[in-house]
Chain A
């Protein structure tokens, strides 16, 4: 069964450092997302990406965040200067063609646990 894969599973970084979280979406999917989940809280939308550009982003996704699809398979989330409050589980997700008539669910990866110290 195809799945979304994320690396690393756990990343520890010092405050102020840059981190890059990596994702390989399901191969025939065209829509990509990043969500985050602070420990014990609900999953929060960060950004969606389609056709090599951001299609929607939340207020969480400020100038410190960026996303990129550097090649045909990877989808990355970069945090330029990490803060303590960036510590969370970050989930990548992908979905099939964004046909507004046919809703298709997003498939989530296992997540990367980011710990900022």
Chain B
């Protein structure tokens, strides 16, 4: 069945380093992917999205890479800051009405 999963439940990085958070998806028909950031006690916050006709998209300090061949999605955060500490979810769009299927989440811990 459809599923979106994450390889690492926790990622610890030093402040200033680059972070890479990975995600695997199984539905090859999914055409839209989003990365959300969730801080403690808050709702998911949109970070960046990518459509299936692209393989890379860049934002401010963040880059999303999509490899449709192996159904893999990654989020790269440059110069990670303490404020980046949160749980990061990948989500895929399935069906025709913007229903999102979320992955399990990766906790990013940034150490000074």
Closest A residue to B102 by beta carbon equals A43
A95 & B98 in contact (Cβ 8 Å cutoff): yes
B98 close to A44 (CB less than 8 A):
no
Contact B32 A50 (CB under 8 A): no
Closest chain A CB from B86 CB (angstroms): 14
* Most A CB within 10 A of own CB, among B45, B95, B102: B102
Q: Is the CB of A106 within 8 A of B98?
A: yes
For the complex formed, measure the closest distance between the CB of B83 and the CB atoms of chain A, giving whole angstroms.
Answer: 18
Q: List, in ascending order, chain A residues with CB within 8 A of B93's CB.
A: 103
Residues B42 and A110 in contact, CB atoms below 8 Å apart? yes
Residues of B within 8 Å of A42, CB to CB, are 89, 102-105
Tell me the nearest residue of chain A to B95, going by C-beta: A56
Mark out the residues of chain B between 19 and 65 whose CB falls within 8 Å of any chain A CB in the assembled complex. 31-32, 34, 36, 41-46, 49, 51
CB of B98 within 8 A of CB of A104, answer yes
CB of B42 within 8 A of CB of A111, answer yes
With an 8 Å Cβ cutoff, the count of chain B residues facing the other chain is 26
Partner of B43, one of A45, A56, A91, A98: A91
Cα A104 to Cα B49 in complex, Å, equals 9
Contacts of B98 in A (CB 8 A): 31, 33, 48, 95, 98, 103-104, 106
Q: Are B45 and A108 in contact (CB under 8 A)?
A: yes
Residues of chain A contacted by B89 (CB below 8 angstroms) = 42-43
The answer to whether B100 and A111 have CB atoms under 8 Å apart is no
Q: Is the CB of A105 within 8 A of B99?
A: no
Instruction: From the candidates A41, A55, A108, name the one contacting B44 in the complex (CB within 8 A).
Output: A108
Complex CA gap A31/B95 in Å reads 14
Residue numbers in A under 8 Å from B104 (CB-CB): 41-42
16 contacts between A and B (CB under 8 A): A31-B98, A33-B98, A35-B100, A43-B100, A45-B99, A45-B100, A48-B99, A91-B43, A93-B43, A106-B46, A106-B98, A108-B36, A108-B43, A108-B44, A109-B43, A110-B42
A-B complex: 6 closest residue pairs judged by Cβ atoms: A108-B43, A43-B102, A103-B32, A108-B44, A55-B97, A105-B46
